[in-house]
A and B are shown apart, each in its own frame.
Chain A
């Protein structure tokens, strides 16, 4: 599904290397987790995959189903099936959540040559999905993320993911800011989307999320590289011992 090879990334504005050769391969239907110390480059990886300005790829590649991602505009990547749940979802005053969702769904459909969703079908679908995530009608009407609590913003990200039905979902610290119940809700939302044709890359600091969303593979990222890859037990090891041992082991 997603294949990242030797990815080197630096900032456009300053001469600072952030990703220093990332290799990662996620098969269809798999769930991978990335853990790693603050500032190791996890969010940067997610931004570079989704096409944010300000980063320069100096070496390496990233493909989604063998299609070069790095050459595309962000909207093309989205239409190709990539989705990023932001670590910090963005507030957009003046743009209604519903309008936003509908515009996004139909823009993706259009660019794939599919028919747009009718207003009625869309409304039905949104209401059903929102209900599962305990997002009330009022939140749907309000401007995108404006005045939403931290947890509400994260749930709103999952709602978008559910509506857009992407193939490759990157979740950047979707668990941060969630209370215990919301964490369960969000995990259930994610698990409901798990399927053979859909893969996940879950960035997190905590084992707790991985209790709910069981990963097939866990990667440890440090200083711009994946330094260790293993099974779910690797997350437990981090939870118990921190990163010191792993960092020492590789250096």
Chain B
């Protein structure tokens, strides 16, 4: 297969046709901060945190195909600050109380906030009135924490391919809807996977909690992105 030469912040990289900038960068051991992206799922480009610049133009690394000669700007101060701003937007858009959240320590939003040393968001909290939806069979949907990454929408399907989750409404009123009937038919394994895929504590499997104590969870030990490059050849 033909190879694509490109650079990320000046580092020479090799990609293959059909890869996105994100995939190619990861394969070269280069970390591009991301949130809605999930290995194996069709990219959604919804959080925009993986935005990079190519020739000055901003684009989402998770959806943009890599091409020959691209000079990707990734870790510039400007982009990093804008990414931090997006993390802050997601914090103020919902109601995130980390200390009481089952996902604390495993939460990718929280991990990014650590990464960006977010103390107080630059934006005012919106304190939206949101609910908890407990009627999804083995799952409960904690809307206060949903960041609309669309991972559940993209991945949780019934055996005959029907979507269990889907976006409803639009504008700032948009939310992720759950087909309760279909959700109640999900197997234990499906529910577990749905919870694990959710980057925050919005989709939770009922009747499990704090199996691993806070402090000993994934991002309590190593910062987000630190695994990139360790396993790359």
- A and B associate in one complex: no
Binding site for A on B (CB under 8 A): none
User: Which A residues are closer than 8 A to B by beta carbons?
Assistant: none
